[in-house]
Structure 1
């Protein structure tokens, strides 16, 4: 990975405005977002899983995630990849996989400590995994996801987990489900690495999150879910004989994928 690309990605987390990071699920969505002027895109594990007929969060999309990273790594933009919990139990195995993600062209990853129905990973073990990743790929931006709010579990441990992951080498902290303004402000003020929050329509704006101290704002699966909704609604309009007025890319716009 070129050091300049990592430096550019890091700088996006300390700019005047937070990094708004849209999340793609395939080559076309990522290419369109980059063409729209977003300097970086992430992937959405839900979008990747659902597009392949698989459940999210069950470590069943390892190969799909790597294939997608290799596709998106050819695009003229910065890429960070959602690797769920790392698709392995042993820290060295997770580190090996993330090295493959970096070799594909990614400048960063998200790695979560949620384990679905099993609750949260042991924070010490998760810290070992983060340290192994940074040892294997020092130039990879590791965004450590803390799932206390997402799973509604013991949210008073959020800061303790975040600090442990930071001490292990995490470059940023992602707390999906964190939405109360006071909680966002307090956590952002307590951390010396960028805080990433998940955009929640109707709850806040980018300007409000910036004022609270968030440095990165992800869309998660929102764009994928909106795309599915739009597709179904358009099909219903066609069937019902209603006019389809939405402006969309033409066939010729998408016929030859950009790289």
Structure 2
């Protein structure tokens, strides 16, 4: 399973759906049902060990999961949050370690618990990673819109900043860009036009369909934490149903509801 094969999955206008796993069982299930590529979800990894998502606290767990998933017959891309370090060299070393395990891609984000990293930081990280591990697909994620969903106080999404950041990240050598939580089709189309590299968006059950996202020029659609949250919902439904409380089953928990549990 190679970097080149992963690159070929990214076809503008013909997006592939990337399921995001949180443990070996979930990834193996996705592979068994025909998915050629699987990603990891940082929320699922963090929640499984009782730590907050996006706080840079799960480096060891992320590497351990990658080592386990690399045994599966699929292309594996790993969410490494912000790189688990602010030092570009240390992030590059981590990606090189993952590459040795067989990982073909990583997500690296500019979001932090209190806001966005400085605009110039992620380009330096991308350049260091591509120099150290050129055969790893770097999916550069900007959280210009996601931080509002995550509940960061005072954060206001800014599409102009989004477009500026994705262009800088592409110019720094990113193989693709990822912008979760874009609000509408017009914003998605604007990112596709600005990026110049394959664009990844987050699947939203109430948002555009896979076909509609293809018509907008998207190349990858990630499920993010949705499968993990849906699994928790199913587990709670099973337990409440066994307890005779099926009527009390809530809807699938939101990202914010899960992160609140981790605090």
Q: Structure 1 length as normaliser, TM-score?
A: 0.89
Alignment of 1:182-221 (within 5 A): 182-221=186-225
Q: Does 1:109 align with 2:106?
A: yes
CA distance in 1, matches of 2:27, 2:12: 22
Larger mean CA deviation between 8-17 and 168-177 belongs to 8-17
> Please, which of 17, 37, 56 is the counterpart of residue 59 of structure 1?
56
Structure 1 segments of 4+ aligned residues over 4 angstroms from their partners: none
Q: How many residues align?
A: 238
Alpha-carbon distance change, 197 to 241 in structure 1, aligned in 2, over 3 angstroms: closer
CA distance in 1, matches of 2:193, 2:68: 37
Q: Does 1:166 align with 2:186?
A: no
**1:185 CA displacement:** 1.1
CA distance in 1, matches of 2:167, 2:76: 25
CA distance in 2, matches of 1:15, 1:132: 27
Match of 1:170, SS?
A: coil
CA distance in 2, matches of 1:235, 1:141: 40
Q: Does 1:150 align with 2:146?
A: yes
Q: Which runs of 5+ in 2 are unaligned?
A: 148-155, 247-263
> Please, which of 113, 128, 132 is the counterpart of residue 132 of structure 1?
128
> Please, which of 137, 140, 143 is the counterpart of residue 141 of structure 1?
137
Q: Which runs of 5+ in 1 are unaligned?
A: 243-259
**1:232 CA displacement:** 0.7
RMSD across aligned positions (CA): 1.4
Alignment of 1:203-242 (within 5 A): 203-240=207-244
CA distance in 2, matches of 1:155, 1:185: 11
Q: Is the 8 A contact 2:198 2:220 kept in 1?
A: yes
